[in-house]
Amino acid sequence: MLQFLNKLLDLISHDPWRLVFALVVMVAFVGLNAAYLVWVERKGAGRFQRRPGPTEVGPAGLFQPIADGLKLMSKQLIVPAGVDSILFRVAPLLVMSPALMSLAVIPFSESLAARNINLGLLMIFALGSINVMAIMLGGWASRNKYAVISAARVVSQNVAYEIPMLLVVITMIMVTGTMNLNELVHQQAGYFWKWNFFRLDHNPLAPITFLIFYICMLAETNRAPFDMAEAESELVAGAYTEYAGMGFGVFFMAEYANILLGCSLATVLFLGGWQSPLPFLPTLGPLWFLLKMYFLVFSVVWVRWTFPRTQFYGLLNLSWKILIPISLCTLVLSSVMLKLL
């Protein structure tokens, strides 16, 4: 983290325009994805539930995200009486910033990454903890009992699911010997049987490791069946109950930005990043990365509209009683395999 901050300060002092350009590109990428992933979600929900989804605004409803964005920006950001006004306004920015900063170290191809940092994996998880704090502050600053209850549940959920996710990541670091995301992809060169998902020599439970990471990613991004931050059927709109206009819109965009980040990280750790899956397929660099990432994003949408929300105690039991013991076994087994080899 200190290395990243030093490099960031050095970049600002020597080439500020490059930093501004990288930030503009990242914000545009996240904003465009957030807008049209909402369209994908609504269309997907419609298909899964045998209804058409958005159809009225533009062909196949393609302009619906633009209309929704204009509607949100035209609404007043109301700050209710009695809230902590500073924290109430800061919380949406805090929840968005970590995802933007973390995407800066994701390598979309060998040469397409805002920054190549040796401790990129550590930086992502260091910044990821701010997301939980932002949702907690948003709920607590609202001084609404439903928002406070939801914020408390989010903290419990994220503490529970960060442990198995970190155990999985520690296993991958132990197997690969690096926290550099570019190096992680380079080690998976040589088509799909070299990807960490299929490498059973050092990690015999590699597919299960990926499944644990995927489940934890759903929980960390507050997606159904783990969407305790919102839980509109139980707690009005959860931690976001008092937010209107773009205050709510930023929380909504941050959710999709975190989905992109989680799916990108899964692509790097397990699915070979930008590497081609088969010898007879061309090397397309960023295109392969985006195809894998968007496949995972679609699966996240699919899960949301397929499985019902879990009960809160069942959610915690899944982590503490099942995922953590399995991830610990994976870590021990991988260490034994590395010692034998």
Whether residue 6 lies inside any domain: the answer is no
Dihedral sign for Cα atoms in the order 233, 236, 239, 244: positive
The reply to whether 257 falls in a domain is yes
Answer yes or no: is 17 within a domain: no
Residue 52 lies in a domain: no
Q: Which two tokens stand for residue 114?
A: 């805002």
Contact 265, 124 (CB under 8 A): yes
Range in 31-35, 57-61, 211-215, 261-265 with the lowest mean pLDDT: 31-35
Q: Is the pTM of this model over 0.85?
A: yes
User: Burial, 29: exposed, middle or buried (Cβ in 10 Å; 0-12, 13-18, 19+)?
Assistant: middle
Structure tokens that stand for 272 in this block: 């070979």
Inter-residue contact 127 to 96 (CB < 8 Å): no
Query: pLDDT tens digits, residue range 159-216?
Result: 899 999 999 999 999 999 999 999 999 999 878 888 999 988 878 889 999 999 999 9
Token pair for residue 290?
């985006």
d(C-alpha 9, C-alpha 323), whole Å = 39
Domain assignment present for residue 277? The answer is: yes
Q: Note whether residue 95 is domain-resident.
A: yes
In a domain, 190, yes or no: yes
Looking at residue 14, what is its pLDDT? Answer: 56
Amino acid at 218: L
pLDDT digits (tens, 9 = 90+) for 136-170: 888 888 888 888 888 888 888 888 999 999 999 99
How far is residue 106's CA from residue 47's CA, in Å, rounded to a whole number? 32
Mean pLDDT, to the nearest integer, of 74-82? 83
Q: How many independent structural domains does the chain possess?
A: 1
The yes-or-no verdict on residue 326 having pLDDT over 50 is yes
Q: Burial of 30 by CB count in 10 Å (0-12 exposed, 13-18 middle, 19+ buried)?
A: buried
Domain assignment present for residue 38? The answer is no
Query: 206-220 and 324-340 helices cross at what angle (nearest 10)?
Result: 140
Average pLDDT over residues 27-52: 87
Query: Which is more confident, 295 or 1?
Result: 295
Question: Contact at 8 Å (CB) between 267 and 195?
Answer: no
Range of the domain at 306: 77-340
Residue 248: pLDDT band (50, 70, 90) is confident
Give the model's confidence band at 15: pLDDT under 50 very low, under 70 low, under 90 confident, else very high.
Answer: low
